[in-house]
Amino acid sequence: MKQVSQLENEVQDYYGKVLQGSDDLKTTACCTDISYSTQIKQALKNIHDEVLSKYYGCGLTIPTQVQGLRVLDLGSGAGRDCYLLSQLVSEDGYVLGIDMTDEQIEVANRHIEWHRSKFAYGNSNVNFVKGNIQNLKEVEIQSEDFDVIVSNCVVNLAANKQAVLEEAFRVLKEGGEFYFSDVYCDRRIPRHLINDKELYGECLSGALYWNDFLNLARKVGFSDPRIVESRRLTIENDSVLEKTAGYKFYSVTHRLFKLPELEPASEDYGQAVKYLGGVQEEPACFKLDNHHLFEIGRNVPVCGNTWRMLANTRYRKFFEFYGNFERHFGLFPVCGTEIPYQDNTEDVPQTQQTNEPSCC
Ligand SMILES: C[S@@+](CC[C@H](N)C(=O)[O-])C[C@H]1O[C@@H](n2cnc3c(N)ncnc32)[C@H](O)[C@@H]1O
């Protein structure tokens, strides 16, 4: 088994020296295959070409309603998501990017002034710091300091994933959320593949088995992880395909709320909520996750956890709430235990697909 320092040196080497830009990637693991909203497309036009060319994310890690918030990006790379968020949080908000690779931090830092001027801000609201996301105390990040944490295709590269989740939980304010995209596998990955420098650097063999991730998230305090988007990764490179035969990889965006009162399961208290509108990006329908789409004006029955994710977070003012926690009616319909990700690839028989919502 490799030492942590060796693993980290290899990751730094891959993102600092081997890759010069997104075109050098051998798989689509570090590529984002989704259509962006008009607002995001517009914001992307204001980002420097060099920053865009060194983007290696696997999802859209930009949650809604971030204006005025303090946002931390774990593994910010050359800074694309930070500069996107810089526009969305507005000049009143703040964005901090942390990355351990010198070359990535250098590119991100070099363009701070260019973006400040492009966004017509008096002062830049973005900062980049070199550091390891497994230990945010080392870069002096205080507990409960951030409203939102994002991360794009990074946690899989960390040797100690539990430490990353623990640190995210620590530095989030109560009611805040860790909204991030990463790569997961349908099974545990054996040591010889983890030790493969190329597979690891390409964000494949460091991926967690999806159920290990869910258990780890719950263990550190994120009691009810929610999936926003998921897609099966396709691998076109022959040698990578051969080495990973039999393993299915997925890019998944999760949102993990720091709400200590969340329960381990979706419990039913007979409650309902109504979306009043007002979230700028979602005027007609508010999407909490891939099971919860709230149409404006419609009363929707919800479990206690969903209620709390709306009532005890920045989304409270956009909803009306009905009921309370006094009377318990048992569980919401049972959640499935199959892999919960979407799979739109052609080689998978329909019977193996689990696109249907399984619970509340
Ligand atoms: C796949 S790239 C993604 C970069 C960026 N999020 C983006 O979307 O372009 C992974 C990044 O994570 C950083 N990284 C990996 N492990 C890290 C760790 N333990 N601490 C800090 N940064 C890390 C690497 O240096 C690299 O810049």
Query: What sign has the CA pseudo-torsion 306, 309, 310, 315?
Result: negative
- Kindly give the distance from the C-alpha atom of residue 160 to the centroid of ligand 1, in angstroms, as a whole number: 14
Nearest atom in ligand 1 to the alpha carbon of residue 104 is: 27
Query: What sign has the CA pseudo-torsion 193, 194, 200, 205?
Result: positive
Question: 159 and 279: one domain?
Answer: no
CATH of the domain at 99: 3.40.50.150
Write the pLDDT tens digit of every residue in 225-253.
Answer: 999 999 999 888 899 999 999 999 999 99
CB-CB contact of 35 with 60 (8 Å): no
Q: Is the CB of 75 inside a 6 Å radius of any atom of ligand 1? A: yes
CB-CB contact of 304 with 263 (8 Å): yes
Question: 217 and 290: one domain?
Answer: no
Q: What is the pLDDT of residue 4?
A: 75
Q: Is the CB of 55 inside a 6 Å radius of any atom of ligand 1? A: yes
Write the pLDDT tens digit of every residue in 31-87.
Answer: 666 678 888 999 999 999 999 999 999 889 999 999 999 999 999 999 999 999 999
- Kindly give the distance from the C-alpha atom of residue 284 to the centroid of ligand 1, in angstroms, as a whole number: 35
Question: 252 and 274: one domain?
Answer: no
CB-CB contact of 69 with 62 (8 Å): no
Average pLDDT, the chain: 91
Confidence check: pLDDT of 334 > 60:
no
Residue nearest to atom 26 of ligand 1 (CA): 77
Write the pLDDT tens digit of every residue in 279-313.
Answer: 999 999 999 999 999 999 999 999 999 999 999 99
Residue nearest to atom 2 of ligand 1 (CA): 56
Domain that holds residue 20: 4-257
Nearest atom in ligand 1 to the alpha carbon of residue 131 is: 21
In the chain, how many domains are there? 2
Question: 229 and 329: one domain?
Answer: no
Confidence check: pLDDT of 346 > 70:
no
Question: 274 and 243: one domain?
Answer: no
Among the residue ranges 12-26, 174-188, 193-207, 292-306, the one predicted with the least confidence is: 12-26
- Kindly give the distance from the C-alpha atom of residue 183 to the centroid of ligand 1, in angstroms, as a whole number: 13
| pTM over cut 0.85 | yes
Q: Is the CB of 290 inside a 6 Å radius of any atom of ligand 1? A: no
Residue nearest to atom 8 of ligand 1 (CA): 57
Question: 187 and 300: one domain?
Answer: no
Q: What is the pLDDT of residue 344?
A: 75
Q: What is the pLDDT of residue 332?
A: 83
SS3 181: strand
Question: 303 and 239: one domain?
Answer: no
Confidence check: pLDDT of 336 > 70:
no
Q: Is the CB of 133 inside a 6 Å radius of any atom of ligand 1? A: yes
Question: 320 and 249: one domain?
Answer: no
Question: 274 and 191: one domain?
Answer: no
Higher model confidence: residue 309 or residue 338?
309
- Of the three residues 190, 224, 257, the one that is the final residue of a domain is 257
